[in-house]
Amino acid sequence: MLRIKRVPTVVSNYQKEDGEEASRQTTGGCGRNCLNNCCLPGSKLPLYAFKKETAKELAAEEIKQQPQQPPVAFLESLLLGEWEDRMQKGLFRYDVTACQTKVIPGDHGFIAQLNEGRHLKKRPTEFRVDKVLQPFDGSKFNFTKVGQEEVIFQFEASEDGEIQFFPNAPIDVANSPSVVAINVSPIEYGHVLLIPRVLECLPQRIDHESLLLALYMAAEAGSPYFRLGYNSLGAFATINHLHFQAYYLAVPFPIEKTSTKNITTLSGGIEISQLLNYPVRGLVFEGSSLENLSAAVADACICLQINNIPYNVLISDSGRRIFLLPQCYAEKQALGEVSSELLDTQVNPAVWEISGHMVLKRKEDYDEASEENAWRLLAEVSLSEERFQEVKDIIFEAITCAVDECLVTTRSSDEDQDVEGRSHEKTVNLAIVPGKPECLVQN
């Protein structure tokens, strides 16, 4: 089995080598004030309860010509205020606001950031790139080991249908809360992690419930500058515990500005397009209903996972536009098909890089950044036209089968998580999805 050395960025101050002591000691439990059973009893954290959309509200929203919204949404104010509080407390490993950033001249406007802090604050590990679905391994770092001081708030649906905030709410261990935590090695201002149902210890794979939660967070933030991203295993996720990343960037991502070609419109008004004139081939899903949009994209992601195809997801436009990007850079690395020039940059093209925000780790790469160099790197990420067409075919068949109830999903809150990572879901007739695994590192 092929493996390649992966050097994941430290996302928590408690992400240490086995045997290392935590840098911050508190009283009780394991001494780290973590999110595990040893420290949770009696603990409280802020709770943001968001309001779910309804069909009636959607219809009213769609007929408004100029929707009136407050200048700054409450969630944005809360998130950034708490994020800056953690900065003042010294919880971050470096000051990301001091990193140099520039827009690279050219038609696409790729963004380059020099972030030497992420290069220096890492630890080596072995990471498999040949399997998108892998079982959760509690012996490795996971988000139950995060210190509670790194958690900004719990993020849950409101019980009474109204937005509410509780500054000191008990942690409902039985219902496994979703939480938002800082990324201690941030890429940009406000860089956080959304960790769905953290105590269930779900592996890094998208399901319908988790993706919808991410869309609700994008909608609640209410800012065009706030995006969420997802990296599958094999597409530069570094931790096999379900999570999304998110941050603020006050300019458009190049991928958001690129032209598209409409392919089809699904029932429920979900439009699917294909990227044009962009170095990475991908699909764009758009719709006004978060639930309909989430269902279509989740079906596509589950299809990719089952077929062992690594992928990245970018959620933009307050959750109404989603980019789905299958990729094969890690496969090419493992097979020795990436040039030494690109490998020397040590840039792992995950969702942010693919979207056009190039996080560079060497000053020479930043000084010499050009649209040509960015394009050359991202072109190595993309599937070939032939392979992309095959992937599109299996995605559309999976979505069609879901719509036609050939692919039946039932919810079960007490079903055990299996090796495939389909916790809380029971899927029937998965074998109908044709095609061979793509982007697979061969044994």
CATH code of residue 124 = 3.30.428.70
Domain holding 141, by residue range, is 46-52+72-432
Q: Which two tokens stand for residue 345?
A: 């940059």
Question: Between 412 and 13, where is the model more confident?
Answer: 13
CA distance 20 to 228: 32
User: What is the greatest pairwise CA distance in the chain?
Assistant: 59
More confident residue, 433 or 281: 281
Burial of 371 (0-12, 13-18, 19+ CB in 10 A): middle
Tokens of 96: 């990301």
Q: Which residues are catalytic?
A: 243
For the chain, helix, strand, coil in percent to 5 are 30, 20, 45
Residue 233 tokens, joined = 């295993």
What confidence score (pLDDT) does residue 32 get?
79
Average pLDDT for 307-320? 97
With respect to residue 14, please indicate whether it lies within any of the assigned structural domains.
Answer: no
pLDDT bracket for residue 53 (50, 70, 90): confident
Q: State yes or no: pLDDT of 406 exceeds 60.
A: no
Residue 28 lies in a domain: no
Residue 357 domain flag: yes
The pLDDT mean for the chain works out to: 83
Number of residues that this document lists for the chain: 443
Instruction: For tokens 């201690």, name the residue.
Output: 184
95 within a domain of the structure (yes/no): yes
The pairing of strands 244-248 and 192-195 is: antiparallel
Does the pLDDT value for residue 3 go beyond 70?
no
Q: Has residue 189 been placed in a domain?
A: yes
Q: Is residue 26 part of a domain?
A: no
Q: Which stretch of 102-116, 342-356, 420-434 has the lowest confidence by average pLDDT?
A: 420-434
Q: Pick from 349, 350, 337, 343: which is nearest to 244 by CA?
A: 350
Indicate the number of domains in the chain: 1
Position 31 in a domain: no
Structural domain contains residue 62: no
More confident residue, 442 or 35: 35
Produce one character per residue of 394-423: b if its CB has 16 or more CB atoms within 10 Å, e if not. Answer: bbbbbbebbeeeebebeeeeeeebeebbbb
18 CA to centre of own chain: 26
Residue 185 has pLDDT above 70, yes or no: yes
What is the bridge-based pairing of β-strands 151-157 and 44-50? parallel
| Structure tokens given for 366 | 């930043």
Within 10 angstroms of residue 110's Cβ, the number of other Cβ atoms is: 27
